[in-house]
Amino acid sequence: MTPAAGHTGKVIVTVAPTGGFLTRAEHPYVPTQPAEIAADVARCAAAGASMAALHARRPDDQATCSGAVYRDINARVRAACDVVINNSTGGGADGDLLRIRPDGSRVVDWDARMEGLEGGADTCTLDAITAYVSAPGGHEILMDTPMERATELAAAMSERGIKPEWEAFNPSHLVREVARLTSLGFDTEPYHVNVVLGLHENFQNALPYTPSNLHHMVDALPDGSLCTVTINGPQQFRGLAHALALGAHIRVGIEDNPCLVPGEPAENARLVERAVALVQSIGLEPATPDEARAILGLPARKEPAREL
C-alpha cells in the first residue's frame, strides 16, 4: 500500500443512499427524490457518515445526471448537514442515461454523463470504465469510456475545480486509466480512489470480493493515492473489516448492499451505524466532515445559493 493510502485513526465513512438501479418497489427505504435524499443523508450524517455518494433520479424515479436535479439535491443536503458531497457521472441504465442506437444496441449516453458535473458537488465519480452492464429488464447496456472520453471528463472536472473520485473495478483501471490521467495533472495528491468489488454479476470486467482480490487492488494503487473500499453484496462487512485492516476508508448504503440481514431491507442510517460500530471496534473513529475534507485535500465547505 502506498504511504498516502492509510488512515491515521480517522476513517471516512461514505454513504451511498440511492444508486442508479433499485426502485421503491424493490426496496421500501431507497430515497429517490431530492427532499427524500437530503433527509436520508442527514440521518446518515447524524449516525457518523462524513461523505455522501449521490445519484439523481427524475420524478418518475428513472436515472438522470441532470445538473438542475443535482443542484436541488445538493442544496437540500447542505441545508441539512455538512457532509462532503459526491455526485455520480455514470450510474444508471434507464431514463436520461439510456440511449438506443439505430441497430438496437444500448449505451449509456455520454452527454447525459457530462451533465453530472454541473451540480456543484465537492467531488464527482470519474469512471474511466468500458464494460457491458446487465440492466434491469434483462438488457445489456454499454458504458463506453475510451481514454479520449476519460480525458475529456477529467479535464472538465479540473476546469470546474471538482476533485475526481476515481472508481476502479479491477487492477487494469488502476494501472492504466487512473495512473495515466493522474500523471497528466488532472488531479493532485491525494488521489481518491474508490476500489469497487462484488459487481461481477452485473458489470463485465468487475471482480468479486475475495481477500486476495482486495489485496491485489490495494497493492496496485498509484503512488499518492488514498483508498475507499466499496463491497457489494452479502460479504460487505467482512470485506470492509478487511479494508480497515489495510488502512482504507469504507462505504456503505442501499446502493451497495440493501440488507443487513439477507432478505430484510435496511435503512441507510442502520447501515451507517453498523459501519461506525465496525470502525470503533478496532480502535478507530469515524472522521467528521471537516476531517474528511482535510484528509481528501478539499477546500472548506461550499455554500452555493439554494435551489429548492
Instruction: Please give the torsion angle defined by the CA atoms of residues 12, 18, 21 and 22, in that order, rounded to the nearest 10 degrees.
Output: 120
**φ, ψ dihedrals at 59, nearest 5°:** -55, -25
Q: Single out the residue of 210, 73, 252, 225 nearest to residue 164, CA to CA.
A: 225
At 30-70, the pLDDT tens digits run 999 999 999 999 999 999 999 999 999 999 999 999 999 99
Asked if the model's pLDDT at residue 306 lies above 60, the reply is no
Domain 3-296 sits in which CATH superfamily? Aldolase class I (3.20.20.70)
Instruction: State the Cα–Cα distance between residues 229 and 194, nearest whole angstrom.
Output: 6
pLDDT band at 6 (very low <50, low <70, confident <90, very high): low
At 139-148, the pLDDT tens digits run 899 999 999 9
pLDDT of residue 302: 56
Q: For all residues of the chain together, what is the average pLDDT?
A: 94
pLDDT band at 263 (very low <50, low <70, confident <90, very high): confident
pLDDT of residue 3: 38
At 199-248, the pLDDT tens digits run 999 999 999 999 999 999 999 999 999 999 999 999 999 999 999 999 99
pLDDT band at 9 (very low <50, low <70, confident <90, very high): confident
This prediction has a pTM of 0.94
Lowest mean pLDDT among 20-29, 51-60, 175-184: 20-29
Domain ranges across the chain:
3-296
Q: Report yes or no: 12 and 50 within 8 Å, Cβ to Cβ.
A: yes
Residues 6+ apart with CB under 8 A from 208: 197, 198, 200
